[in-house]
Amino acid sequence: QLQLTNSGGGSVQTGGSLRLSCTASGFTLTDHDVAWFRQAPGNECELVMTRRTDGTTTYSDSVKGRFTISPDNAQNTVYLQMNSLKPEDTGMYYCAHSVARASLSRDDPNYWGQGTQVTVSS
């Protein structure tokens, strides 16, 4: 069974940090490109950051210098480290692998984690 599990969300104050986890079952996660998305209430799903299979990353300007992606192959996990959090970072965060295919199957648990809520208060 192929599955991604998201965890690590929570409620923090402005300036705080969280580390989100994307853990794969049934396949090696870092054999694929991995991306983190977020969606605030009433908003479109926003691409936050990606990690390619060669280890390079892309990111949105809104998280530049604050968010990083790092893998832990022993745990078959990719982390999103979020520092200096702002209220506008609030939203539901989802990881996805094989992003080109995931984008065509938004509700497919083979490609998407279930999401984890991040709330940042002023």
Q: Which of 65, 101, 57, 58 is nearest to 83 (CA)?
A: 65
Q: What is the pLDDT of residue 81?
A: 98
Summarised one tens digit per residue, pLDDT across range 57-110 is 999 999 999 999 999 999 999 999 999 999 999 999 999 999 899 989 988 999
Over residues 109-117, the mean pLDDT reads 95
**Quick one: pLDDT band at residue 4, thresholds 50, 70, 90?**
very high
pLDDT digits (tens, 9 = 90+) for 88-97: 999 999 999 9
Q: Tokens 């794969």 belong to which residue?
A: 24
> Could you tell me if 51 and 68 are in contact, meaning their C-beta atoms sit under 8 angstroms apart?
no
Closest among 4, 28, 20, 24 to 92, alpha carbons compared:
20
Tokens 């300007």 found at:
61
